Chain A
Amino acid sequence: MKKYKLLTAAALSIAMAAPLALTSTIAPAAGERYILVSHAPDSDSWWNTIKNGIALAGKQMGVSVEYRNPPTGDLADMARIIDQSAASKPNGIITTLADFDVLSGPIRNAVDQGINVIIMNSGTPEQTREVGALMFVGQPEYDAGLAAGLRAKGDGVKSFVCVNHVISNTVVAERCRGFADGLGIELGNSMLDSGQDPAEIKNRVLAYLSANPKTDAILTLGPTSADPTLLALEENGMAGDIYFGTFDLGDNIVKGIKSGVIQWGIDQQPFLQAYLPVVVLTNYDRYGVLPGNNINSGPGFVTKDGLTLVEKYAGEYR
């Protein structure tokens, strides 16, 4: 009994002391405040570049920035976070439009409360106009996939597998569709739902390739699926032999490009998707100036040539 009294006392004192510790972590609310809401689960490492991008922009522009995401990547939870961001009255919200049905309502409501919104990363220019956002900063996914497909066709690719680690994100799946159209073949069963776990991704790629040994090319949709795929190719000896293209960059992808295992990486330059909206919003709030159109942050092909800067900042700003 006595043991529990002690424990309770300790618990209560921690609970009471916590607010004090917490207050010191809150950034000073001087200047403008912008919130970036993403759709990515905590486990998606690609978004680290986004965090670094807004942090740098916040520092350079002298504004405070915050990053919010639904921990499990549930888009319904993300809608609540947008509602909540609007309720906290920031100067602007930067958000992705991963599912128009779910997110358009909350975004529209934020816009109507007088908050400036910029859509980044996922979404289309039409959807951006429809929700009343200022602009779209990102890479048109289907077009990027198509461009990659055309390039691969030129290199003699006839069949492929698309390793999709975010099967629920319809916009990202457009990359696979565009790639198939670029090659001039049906998507069919070429899209592999790999899940998020690296070991599972690796084993599913291995299983697919041993079941379909005639596959010409692999397309991965980000470091989350590319890194385990690299390991899988090393294990079954297909590294360097099979045509390998990937979306987005990361440490291992850059190494892969350098060693010739990966032919190219499509960089949509997430840094710009995070950095530019903060700069644009700040200038709009301070001086009323706004660029006249959407900004395409990608696509750009990163190949073996000119890897130095990419290599230096891979996973941080690239």
Chain B
Amino acid sequence: MTQAEQTLPESDERIKERSSFHKALIRPELGGVCGTILVFLFFFLTARDSGMFSPAGVLNWSIVSSQFIIIAVGACLLMIAGEFDLSVGSMIGFSGMSIALLSVTFGWPVWLAIITTFILCMGVGALNGWLVIKTGLPSFIVTLAFLFILRGLTIFAAISTTSKTIIGGIRDVAEGDWLAPFFGGKVLTGVFQWMGDEGWIEVYTRGIKKGQPVVEGIPMLMVWALVLVIFGHWLLTKTKFGNWIFAAGGDAQAARYVGVPVNRVKILMFMFTAFCACVFATAQVMEFGSAGADRGLLKEFEAIISVVIGGALLTGGYGSVIGAALGAIIFGVVQQGLFFAGVESSLFRVFLGVILLLAVILNTYIRRMITGEK
């Protein structure tokens, strides 16, 4: 502390002064930002001419990243609140199948099928949370149970009603539905058509789509990802509820003493994670027009990996939604980028492991600088 500052009456001797540069640098997202830059630099050097940075290539890895972002936002908030959800992947398969069965097999209108599925999923999320709170068991175990329960139910429901594990035909029944385009539609199609007409982006050279741009528009999946990130970041950093999330994950007992409704916060976060999984599934079902009983396999780990790459602590109470989103982008870009770079596909997991390790090392280092723990 300098002489000049000491004379200022409003300066508080309990607060350590940091330069604004230091403050800007030392944030939970720093690791994610560095990682994103490194990853893009890496692929720009190795896969520049492979079509990875053509409009269709960019859309490809953006969609994959958006998928990761959607489940990572939910997983991130839940993890900051101090809990895990391992049932995310099974929930994706479950909700996709629920929409398909209700709409195609039972003939419900698609909007009703979607809304019912959302209610069902958030109900399961609430049940997850309630069980964790009531039994005091680790959420790891409770949600692991639901990983199996939901997957088994999904396969059973599909086989027993239709004797198939993949149910198609959703695109036909969703035709003209008012809610379906919010998940499976595309926006800004006019802009892309115009860019195609102007010759700025590639167009189809043959077939029924001749003259249409290869990139038709921005899928709603990406809009959902953006909306969820903004909502999550706002909730976590700008609201009282956000502070409660941090408090519930940091030290639940201490939070209870100061009047934070820890149980409510945790159950709501389980429901939000389920909601995110359901958004993922609905968008996937609407885009591809079919639901499969094995959809979403291992997605729970992909969500957790994204969050961890983004700098959140596995033990709760620390992390950022922006970081998780960057983690998801790193994950998505690496996964798709390795294909573009022509790397043998079996090496993907090796790279993933290395990145995960590097990210955690970097994040631990940054966190120690922020919190001052040694």
Chain A residues in contact with chain B, CB under 8 A? 1, 4-5, 7-8, 11, 14-15, 18-19, 22-23, 25-27, 42, 66-69, 71-76, 79-81, 83-89, 99-102, 105, 108-109, 111-114, 132, 167-168, 170, 173, 193
Q: Contact between A112 and B297 (Cβ–Cβ < 8 Å)?
A: no
Choice from A4, A83, A85, A193 contacting B155 with Cβ under 8 Å: A193
Instruction: Decide: A26 and B345 in contact? CB cutoff 8 A.
Output: no
Name the CB-closest residue of A to B209: A112
The CA-CA distance from A11 to B363 in the complex, in Å, is 12
In the complex, how many angstroms separate the beta carbon of A86 from the nearest chain B beta carbon? 7
Answer yes or no: B236 CB below 8 A from chain A CBs: no
| A76 CA to B343 CA, complexed, in Å | 21
- Are A113 and B364 in touch, CB under 8 angstroms? no
Given the complex of chains A and B, what is the CA–CA distance between A74 and B297 in angstroms? 7
Instruction: Evaluate whether A71 and B288 lie within 8 angstroms (CB atoms) in the complex, with A7-B365, A108-B207 already known.
Output: no
**For the complex, what is the distance from the CA of A173 to the CA of B162, rounded to whole Å?**
13
Q: Are A80 and B290 in contact, CB atoms less than 8 angstroms apart?
A: no
Residue numbers in B under 8 Å from A89 (CB-CB) = 51
B56 contacts across to A, CB distance below 8 A: 83, 86-87
Q: Specify which of B51, B165, B205 is in contact with A167 (CB 8 Å cutoff).
A: B165
Interface bits B336-348 vs A (CB < 8 Å: 1, else 0):
1001111111101
A22 — which chain B residues lie within 8 A by C-beta?
46, 341, 343
Give the residues in chain A near B290, CB-CB below 8 Å. 99, 101-102
Interface segment out of the listed B57-65, B116-124, B125-133: B57-65
A88–B364 CB distance below 8 A: no
**B46–A87 contact, CB under 8 A?**
no
Do A11 and B288 touch (CB < 8 A)? no
Assess whether B165 is in contact with A168, with CB atoms less than 8 Å apart.
yes
A87 touching B208, Cβ below 8 Å: no
Of A71, A87, A105, which contacts B57 at CB under 8 A?
Answer: A87
Given A66-B342, A167-B165, decide whether A102 and B288 contact each other with a Cβ distance below 8 A.
yes
Q: How far is the CA of A133 from the CA of B52 in the complex (A)?
A: 24
- CB–CB B38/A15 < 8 A: yes
Please give the distance in Å from B255's CB to the nearest CB on chain A.
30
A1 touches B368 (CB 8 A): yes
Contacts of A88 in B (CB 8 A): 50-52, 57, 339-340
Known contacts A19-B45, A87-B57, A112-B210; decide if A101 and B336 are in contact (CB<8 Å): no
B contacts, CB < 8 Å to A: 38, 42, 45-46, 50-52, 54, 56-57, 59-61, 63-64, 155, 164-166, 168-171, 202, 204-210, 214, 284, 288-290, 292-298, 336, 339-346, 348-349, 354, 358, 361-362, 364-365, 368, 374
The answer for the CA separation of A86 and B364 in the assembled complex, in Å, is 39
Task: Count A/B pairs, Cβ under 8 Å.
Answer: 145
Please, which residues of chain B bring their CB within 8 A of the CB of A76?
284, 288, 292, 295
A residues near B362, Cβ cutoff 8 Å = 8, 11
* Contact residues in A for B342 (Cβ distance below 8 Å): 25-27, 66
Take A74-B297, A89-B51 as given contacts and tell me if A68 and B288 are in contact as well, using a CB distance cutoff of 8 Å.
no
CB proximity of B352 to chain A, nearest CB, Å: 9
Report the Cα distance A306→B134, complex, angstroms: 66
Once bound together, how far apart are the Cα atoms of A73 and B50, in whole Å? 25
CA distance A114 to B61 in the complex (A): 22
A110 → B minimal CB distance (Å): 10
Q: Which residues of A contact B171 (CB under 8 A)?
A: 101
Closest Cβ of chain B: how far from A133's Cβ, in Å? 12
Contact for A81 among B38, B209, B296, B339, CB less than 8 A: B339
* CA gap between A111 and B210 in the complex, in Å: 11
Known: A1-B368, A83-B56. 15 other contacts (CB 8 A): A11-B361, A19-B42, A26-B341, A74-B294, A74-B297, A87-B60, A88-B339, A99-B292, A102-B292, A112-B206, A167-B293, A168-B165, A168-B166, A168-B293, A170-B165
Contact partners of B170 in chain A: CB under 8 A:
101
A109 touching B288, Cβ below 8 Å = no
Residue of A71, A72, A84, A112 with most partner-chain B CB within 10 A = A84
Across the two chains, which residue of chain B brings its CB closest to A79?
B288
Q: 25 A-B pairs, CB-CB below 8 angstroms?
A: A18-B42, A23-B46, A26-B342, A27-B342, A42-B346, A75-B292, A76-B288, A76-B295, A79-B288, A83-B60, A84-B57, A84-B60, A84-B61, A84-B339, A87-B51, A87-B57, A88-B50, A88-B339, A102-B290, A105-B288, A112-B204, A113-B202, A113-B205, A168-B293, A170-B165
User: In the assembled complex, which residues on chain A have CB atoms less than 8 Å from the CB atom of B365?
Assistant: 4-5, 7-8
**CB contact between A84 and one of B209, B340, B346 (< 8 Å): that residue:** B340
